[in-house]
A and B are shown apart, each in its own frame.
Chain A
């Protein structure tokens, strides 16, 4: 779900009895849901506390966390694949939930609206976007399949190294100031807090591009992550990916996972600007390259910055003669990303 920019939604939220029934089923299967209810905003659907003065709580146990790969669409009905490990009660719950609260109840039309916006773009621009800025499969195959993929992409949560679908939690809109998801000692996925208004979940480590790729909306973020690329560092070949789920920790910072063999270095991702930690981007990179035993990190980092800036400026150039809602969103996303990249000042030791 996404805050703002939600397109026309055909179906409304579930009725009170439907919602109550789904919560009962959820609880019967081990889930906990307290003080939550669906609601509407001008921007679309969302999740709200029933009593804003009290804390809300959603606890999703492992049996109710459905791996994205286990979900299929048969005649446009979302269900769990036969070969998946889910039990019969969980399967039935999932299908009813999709029909009452999620896919059929607005999720499909939201995803379809976004796909429609992309379809208005010239083919050449779509190809350019698919190379660097949108999921490659966004407009591949049939329209129906594209809508289904977009729905899952926008609702998916990365949890314990898996992409999962978490009922009820997925209904909450995202926000930079949202509540982070956490796990408890029983390995439940937990969304817990207090909110005077809508319940919002944090975007996590995504930058403006990452959010655009998932939700199709431009959101300013304090940091920027490099596009995938290859660059020389001294005599070594460095490959930078954009996998934010692979990370290590150093000095309280999430740093990329590095692998190095025979003059080839790979980084799972690379931060190239952060308004909250302006010295961190270069510092992390220099530290990793020092560890890899290569020289020339300073110039290589400049090249990485240059490559990224060029890509977003080229996107702005391609958008210049165009108009429309998605073009505006793309421009804003590029501005946000370029701005976050400027917050790379000096360096510090990592």
Chain B
């Protein structure tokens, strides 16, 4: 996602040379042509692409700040000077200042055109306050970072060059080892798959309304017997269990907290209820089915309410939101039967490195 000047081969090649000198690797990749909407493309689609971002170039979002509308690495951040200079230049020549700001700004501006009651609903029920409340410039910066960030060992980071690639439901997967990389064949435009997301989080994070095989609960609280169950939406906090992944649980007093809750899974529709049953039983709670049904209803009603509220409105953002709500409800409908997860438990640091459940 670069502008005209940054797409100039000389600028691109100079940047890549520096990137590789700092430990990065790039094979068979070029910037997409201006106006094509493609961030990165395969030079020769018959050959595999490789893009490796070394650890030293993965910048934690917490270490970034905006000064005079430029992305800077905070002074106290533990980043060597060479890397610091490269990342800042990359942002200001190829990313944020080269079309990224405009695209993020267009999305925030479109959200601002929504009727007040829909904006309020999106803030109250869907956690979109960070994109709908506050000064415009700050929201644009937030959306830009959200839409480019990737999970890396428990942190959200920006990965230079790699962040320029388009995101989508299909495409190359992130590979996490000593470095963060993508590799494989790409038909022209290089697309990197979203991580563990649902339609709602894809909209919140990337401003896209894509169909996803999974649906996770919105934050919720329900009561069973004398216990309160608190559902979070930290999709990155999970535990490997058998072939799948389950949310982290914690108990405090009469409350049981789940880091997230899967409600529907197109490829494994028995998993959502099965996982919930197992986790609640292990926490000493019975009658989990009724609680699960209530959580599903609470979620479905929020998306249906959004659809109903939008019925009298039109526009591009309304259409996008409708699509998101439909996709989320569709994914939620994939909850059929029950199969409990295997017994093994192992903490997961980077959920996106797993195939989705």
User: Using an 8 Å CB-CB cutoff, how does the interface string of A319-350 with B read, 1 for contact, 0 for none?
Assistant: 01001000010011001001100111111000
Using Cβ atoms and an 8 Å threshold, which residues of chain B touch A347? 289
- Across the interface, do B293 and A338 meet the contact criterion of CB distance under 8 Å? no
Q: Given A298-B337, A309-B333, A320-B319, is A342 in contact with B308 using a C-beta cutoff of 8 Å?
A: no
- State whether the Cβ of B282 lies closer than 8 Å to any Cβ in chain A: no
- Across the interface, do B297 and A342 meet the contact criterion of CB distance under 8 Å? yes
Which of A303, A328, A346 has a CB less than 8 Å from the CB of B293? A346
- Across the interface, do B322 and A339 meet the contact criterion of CB distance under 8 Å? no
Q: What's the Cα separation between A248 and B334 when bound, in Å?
A: 31
Q: Given A313-B326, A342-B301, is A332 in contact with B294 using a C-beta cutoff of 8 Å?
A: no
- Across the interface, do B330 and A346 meet the contact criterion of CB distance under 8 Å? no
Kindly report which residue of chain B lies nearest to residue A343, judged by CB atoms. B297
Q: What's the Cα separation between A309 and B304 when bound, in Å?
A: 12
Q: What's the Cα separation between A191 and B311 when bound, in Å?
A: 36
Q: What's the Cα separation between A343 and B336 when bound, in Å?
A: 17
Sample of 26 A–B contacts (CB below 8 Å): A298-B337, A299-B336, A299-B337, A299-B338, A302-B335, A302-B336, A303-B336, A309-B329, A316-B322, A320-B322, A320-B323, A320-B326, A328-B311, A331-B311, A332-B308, A335-B307, A335-B311, A338-B304, A339-B300, A339-B301, A342-B297, A342-B301, A343-B297, A345-B290, A346-B289, A346-B290
- Across the interface, do B304 and A339 meet the contact criterion of CB distance under 8 Å? yes
Using Cβ atoms and an 8 Å threshold, which residues of chain A touch B307? 316, 331, 335
Which B307-344 residues have C-beta < 8 A from chain A? 307-308, 311, 314, 319, 322-323, 326, 329-330, 333-338
Using Cβ atoms and an 8 Å threshold, which residues of chain A touch B314? 323
Using Cβ atoms and an 8 Å threshold, which residues of chain A touch B326? 313, 316-317, 320
Which of A320, A328, A335 has a CB less than 8 Å from the CB of B304? A335
Q: Given A342-B301, A344-B293, A346-B290, is A305 in contact with B333 using a C-beta cutoff of 8 Å?
A: yes
Query: Chain A interface residue count: which class?
Result: 20 to 34
- State whether the Cβ of A310 lies closer than 8 Å to any Cβ in chain B: yes
Kindly report which residue of chain A lies nearest to residue B322, judged by CB atoms. A320
- State whether the Cβ of B348 lies closer than 8 Å to any Cβ in chain A: no
Most buried by B among A342, A343, A347: A342
- State whether the Cβ of B58 lies closer than 8 Å to any Cβ in chain A: no
| Smallest beta-carbon distance A132→chain B, Å | 16
Q: Given A339-B301, A339-B304, A342-B301, is A313 in contact with B330 using a C-beta cutoff of 8 Å?
A: yes
Q: What's the Cα separation between A335 and B333 when bound, in Å?
A: 15
| Smallest beta-carbon distance B280→chain A, Å | 14
- State whether the Cβ of A131 lies closer than 8 Å to any Cβ in chain B: no
Kindly report which residue of chain A lies nearest to residue B297, judged by CB atoms. A342
Kindly report which residue of chain A lies nearest to residue B307, judged by CB atoms. A335
Which B13-70 residues have C-beta < 8 A from chain A? none
Give 8 nearest A-B pairs by CB, closest first.
A346-B290, A299-B337, A309-B333, A345-B293, A302-B336, A342-B297, A342-B300, A306-B333
Kindly report which residue of chain A lies nearest to residue B310, judged by CB atoms. A331
Which A282-328 residues have C-beta < 8 A from chain B? 298-299, 302-303, 305-306, 309-310, 313, 316-317, 320, 323, 328
Q: What's the Cα separation between A332 and B289 when bound, in Å?
A: 30
Q: What's the Cα separation between A344 and B334 when bound, in Å?
A: 15
Q: What's the Cα separation between A299 and B338 when bound, in Å?
A: 8
Q: What's the Cα separation between A313 and B326 when bound, in Å?
A: 6
Using Cβ atoms and an 8 Å threshold, which residues of chain B touch A342? 296-297, 300-301, 304
- Across the interface, do B297 and A345 meet the contact criterion of CB distance under 8 Å? yes
Q: What's the Cα separation between A331 and B313 when bound, in Å?
A: 13
Kindly report which residue of chain B lies nearest to residue A332, judged by CB atoms. B311
Q: What's the Cα separation between A231 and B297 when bound, in Å?
A: 24
Kindly report which residue of chain A lies nearest to residue B293, judged by CB atoms. A345
| Smallest beta-carbon distance A310→chain B, Å | 6
Kindly report which residue of chain A lies nearest to residue B300, judged by CB atoms. A342
Using Cβ atoms and an 8 Å threshold, which residues of chain B touch A335? 304, 307-308, 311
